[in-house]
Amino acid sequence: MRKAIVLFALLALGYCTQNPLFLNETYTTGLINIGKDSDIFYWHFESRRNATADPLVIWLTGGPGCSSELALFLENGPFTVNDNQTLDSNPYSWNNQANLVFVDQPVGTGFSKAANDELVRNEDEVAEDFYAFLLGFLQQNPQYIGRPLFLTGESYAGHYIPAIGAELAKQKNPKINLQGLAIGNGWVTPKLQNPAYGTYAYENKLISGLQYYAFTKPVLATCEALISINAPLSLTNTVCGLGYQSIVGFGQTPKFNVYDIRKQCLGSLCYNMTNLDNFLARNDVKSALGVSGRTWQECSNTVYAALSHDEIVNLADKVAYVLESGIKVLVYSGDQDFQCNYLGGIAWTDSMKWSHQTEFQNAKYSDYKLNGQAAGKFKKAENLEFLIVYQAGHQVPMDQPQFALYMINSFISS
């Protein structure tokens, strides 16, 4: 065990409430103590359909160190924030047919707290802390003990979710009924996803053929080789970063929105988060959430730095372990995303070694239809499905909310 003591000092049982501030959605919030002086914040919404029977869906935003409230308000949660600091209801929220939980993890992310000596350094520690969190969450919300559970998320959650999923599968705790993982535009196998930057950029005319063949492709091939031989991290980061920056530019602001190549990059995360920043800074909001005195941040540089050695680690073996455990996995990618693009997604899912690898590699793509129209294409073998979503960037639920809701409802009900 990484920590000598894991405390489940629960601040309160999770009694559901409603508040006009949050448009009378039925919700609970909580802080689960992790270790001696750290905790993990969650915001839970009951299903709009049937809270007593619908499954439990947990969402994790990536980063590493970025808050899940980003997705809650900008993607698949019950609200969006207006310029005047009021909220609008999201008709495509993922709690339409599921009990939905947004989690600020690892410790130190979003509204969560972290002691310096309890920051996570690798995915084993991420998984250990999340297992402790989940036990605490179930103690606060015992109605979900044994309920079908689905872990979902995007971006660097492509590291979190495989590690956590494998840990839950290994634990075989009867209180935790893990049924599936859904990874959106995930960062899973850096060795293969780094070279995909060059291919994607060339195919989408973000760089010229001359630049691709003369510089970007060979540099990213060297990046792949360095990761393969476990070269010193400083050297690997320098070379991989050079290949990446040769595409997006060497300035502080990328030449294009790396999360949606159709748009310009605005702000540190390429989107204007001012409304959300201001809303979550309000004292009345923090009081209603039970986090008075805390300061919310979009992404934590401290958490990011602590996981600096984790970024190039391959997590595909953890996905394979989950698949071999009989748990289904959905991997989906918006086709307009550069940062964790679908070509890299194809590469890592095809290369993953598991008992149905050949069958998956040979599977043919079929249209994924919504209302009779092809909104994407997918292929599937046994309990693994790979889906490319048309006209969507890194945040599929933000760009294609109706399709994303249909996708997740189909996944959790099949």
Residues annotated as catalytic (active site), given as ranges: 155, 337, 394
Give the number of other CB atoms < 10 A from CB of residue 127: 23
Residues sharing a CB contact under 8 Å with residue 84, sequence separation 6 or more, in sequence order = none
Q: Which three-class secondary structure state does DSSP give residue 183?
A: strand
Which residue stretches of 188-341 are H helix? 190-203, 209-211, 217-228, 233-248, 274-281, 283-289, 301-306, 316-324
Adjacent-strand bridge partners of 248: none
- Taking the C-alpha atoms of residue 165 and residue 170, their distance in angstroms, rounded to an integer, is 9
Q: Are strands 148-154 and 99-104 parallel, antiparallel or unpaired?
A: unpaired
Q: What is the CA radius of gyration of the chain?
A: 20
Check: CB of residue 162 under 8 Å from CB of residue 329: no
The sign of the dihedral angle between the CA atoms of 228, 351, 340, 203 is positive
